[in-house]
Amino acid sequence: MKIKILGTGCTRCNSLEKTVREAVKELGYDVGVEHVTDFKKIMEYSLLMTPGLVIDEKVVSSGSVPKKDEIKKMIKTAMEAGK
Amino acid sequence: MAEQKAIAGAPKAGCACSNEAATQAISRGRLMLWLAAGLAVWILLYLAIEPGASWLIYDLFKLDRTDHLAASLAFFLYEAPRVLLLLVMVVFAVGIVRSFFTPERTRQMLAGKREFAGNVMAAGLGILTPFCTCSAVPLFIGFVETGIPLGVTFSFLIAAPMINEVALVLLFGMFGWKVTLLYVVTGLSIAILAGWIIGRLKLERHVEDWVYQVKMGETADTSRQLDFPGRVYYGLDAVREIVGKVWPYVLAGIAVGAAIHGYVPEGLMASFMGKDVWWAVPAAVLIGVPIYSNAAGIIPVMQALMEKGAALGTTLAFMMAVIGLSLPETIILRKVLKWPLIAAFLGVVAAGIIIVGYVFNAVL
């Protein structure tokens, strides 16, 4: 499983990265979190607003910082679907 | 659906608590109650500002009404809470309206629109769609990829930052509804016409080449269909985020405005921001473009300067240049636009603002 944060260095992008890292830690999963800042790569996910949250190559949120519980739920769902 | 209604409406409370529809109905009712209570508190606070401020200044501090300090303090204590309260209310309401608009939907609405009608629509949607400067690049590419004309995309990108709820509240709070309306109408016209002109100039080749090579797939609209409580929370989030960010600027802006109000002599500004100073408008725009301040900080200062003799057109032009055009946005857009297109964008919008400034100095 792979989690990517699509951001351009904006405040909300950084706060999303922080929240995601906390969520992963609290869940106790061993998952890599990557912060993508290259516009060309970001646009491959065809979102219109940053920050974007990508779990297993699927955009699950864009333009907002979801609450930590919501992020945990998203990660859990993806984890179970991946098994 | 009918069955659920029957259960929820049943007088027996025994099993209704486990029924999802029923619990939702309760939380919805409670939410309405909270909203009503919030509105009541808001109105009480608003009504308390004027007597509260004058009690503080004249009864508690025992200041004289003709004193400079009293004039400054009265200005601050009256304007600051009023503008902050207005800000909370308007940002909440606009947040709820915005929850109906997403950039994805806006893009769908703009796709395949004719040039002029497209410019008008794009400028209008620019006000309503949630937008942040940091998303300007993905949004630009997303629009261009869908085949939305360059000029129409620019109408959106000009209107979105220039006409925002913080600016509107500050304008309304400090200048009143007439100047606010002037600002909105002229701002929209500039966005529409500047976008249209940029479209006519046929500058498509000055978009960075990599933009056209991006292969965007189907955009997944990740926004969920929100129910009523969801929209209320969206509005509250907007209040937390926006008011939480701008309140220090509001206070600082009003404090500077208050100092000018109390201490700067009448008519001082007339000599260099007055009606008869022919170079004032272009100078205001030239200074305003690189300055990056949000509306919250600049508007109270401009209101105080206008009281001291600055002309309305010059003031309006300066505010539009500061709020609508910013160096950070230009630098971000440089990633997708080559210099000639950046120059055209800045030049056309700045020219529009200068014309607006001269027109209002001449007419009013």
B36-to-B25, B41, B44, B228, B230 alpha-carbon distances in Å: 17, 9, 12, 15, 17
State how far the Cα of B247 lies from the Cα of B254, in Å rounded to an integer.
11
| Confidence at residue B203, expressed as pLDDT on a 0 to 100 scale | 92
Q: Which tokens hold the place of B168?
A: 């509107």
Show residues of chain A in contact with B219, CB under 8 Å: 46-48
Residue in B102, B132, B220 closest to A59 by CB: B220
What ipTM describes this predicted complex?
Answer: 0.84
Which residues 36-65 of A are in CB contact (within 8 Å) with B?
A: 39-40, 42-44, 46-50, 58-63
Residue in A10, A13, A48 closest to B104 by CB: A48
| Confidence at residue B110, expressed as pLDDT on a 0 to 100 scale | 92
3-state helix, strand, coil in chain A (%, to 5): 45, 25, 35
Q: Is pLDDT of B72 > 70?
A: yes
Q: What is the mean pLDDT of residues B22-34?
A: 72
Q: What pLDDT, in 10s, does the model give residues B225-283? A: 678 888 888 899 889 988 998 999 999 999 999 999 888 888 888 887 888 888 999 99
Q: Is pLDDT of B322 > 80?
A: yes
Show residues of chain A in contact with B332, CB under 8 Å: 8
State how far the Cα of B168 lies from the Cα of A9, in Å rounded to an integer.
28
Q: What is the 3-state secondary structure (H, E, C) of B210-275?
A: HHHHCCCCCCCCCCCCCCHHHHHHHHHHHHHHHHHHHHHHHHHHHHHHHHHHHHCCCCCCHHHHCC
Q: What is the mean pLDDT of residues B311-319?
A: 93
Q: Chain B contact for A8, CB < 8 A?
A: yes
| Confidence at residue B10, expressed as pLDDT on a 0 to 100 scale | 38
Q: Is pLDDT of B70 > 90?
A: no
Cβ contacts of B135 within 8 Å, gap of 6 or more: A48, A49, A50, A63, B103
Name the pLDDT band for B285 (thresholds 50, 70, 90): very high
| Confidence at residue B218, expressed as pLDDT on a 0 to 100 scale | 63
| Confidence at residue B5, expressed as pLDDT on a 0 to 100 scale | 38
**Ranges under pLDDT 70 in chain A:** 83
B24-to-A18, B6, B28 alpha-carbon distances in Å: 32, 15, 6
State how far the Cα of B28 lies from the Cα of B38, in Å rounded to an integer.
15
Burial of A46 (0-12, 13-18, 19+ CB in 10 A): buried
Q: What is the DSSP-derived secondary structure letter of residue B11? A: S
Which of B20-34, B117-131, B207-221 is predicted least confidently?
B20-34
Q: What is the DSSP-derived secondary structure letter of residue B111? A: T
Percent of chain B whose predicted confidence (pLDDT) is above 90: 50
Long-range contacts of A60-63 (CB under 8 A, 24+ apart): A60/B222, A61/B222, A62/A6, A62/B222, A63/B102, A63/B103, A63/B130, A63/B135, A63/B223
* Interface touch A10/B134, C-beta < 8 Å: yes
State how far the Cα of B333 lies from the Cα of B346, in Å rounded to an integer.
11
Task: Answer yes or no: are the C-beta atoms of B285 and B318 closer than 8 Å.
Answer: yes
Q: What is the mean pLDDT of residues B13-23?
A: 41
Amino acid at site B313 = G
- Please give the model's pTM, rounded to 2 decimal places: 0.84
Q: Is pLDDT of B4 > 80?
A: no
Q: Is pLDDT of B335 > 80?
A: yes
CA A6 to chain CA mean position, Å: 7
Percent of chain B whose predicted confidence (pLDDT) is above 70: 90
pLDDT, averaged across chain B:
85
Task: Answer yes or no: are the C-beta atoms of A80 and A2 closer than 8 Å.
Answer: no
Alpha helices for B10-114 (secondary structure H): 20-54, 68-98, 103-110
Q: Which tokens hold the place of B260?
A: 């000018």
Which of B36-40, B208-212, B247-251 is predicted least confidently?
B208-212
CA B227 to chain CA mean position, Å: 25
Name the pLDDT band for B219 (thresholds 50, 70, 90): low
Which of A53-57, B1-5, B85-89, B291-295 is predicted least confidently?
B1-5
Q: Which residue has the higher pLDDT, B26 or B253?
A: B253
Show residues of chain B in contact with A49, CB under 8 Å: 103, 130, 132, 135, 138-139
Which of B42-56, B111-125, B289-303 is predicted least confidently?
B289-303
Identify the closest residue of chain A to B234 by CA–CA distance.
Answer: A64
Q: What is the mean pLDDT of residues B179-185?
A: 93
Return the biggest CA–CA distance within chain B. Answer: 78
State how far the Cα of B357 lies from the Cα of B364, in Å rounded to an integer.
11
| Confidence at residue B268, expressed as pLDDT on a 0 to 100 scale | 80
State how far the Cα of B88 lies from the Cα of B162, in Å rounded to an integer.
20
Give the range with max mean pLDDT: B13-17, B186-190, B329-333: B186-190
For B208, phi then psi, to 5°, come to -55, 140
Which of B40-54, B75-89, B278-292, B342-356 is predicted least confidently?
B278-292
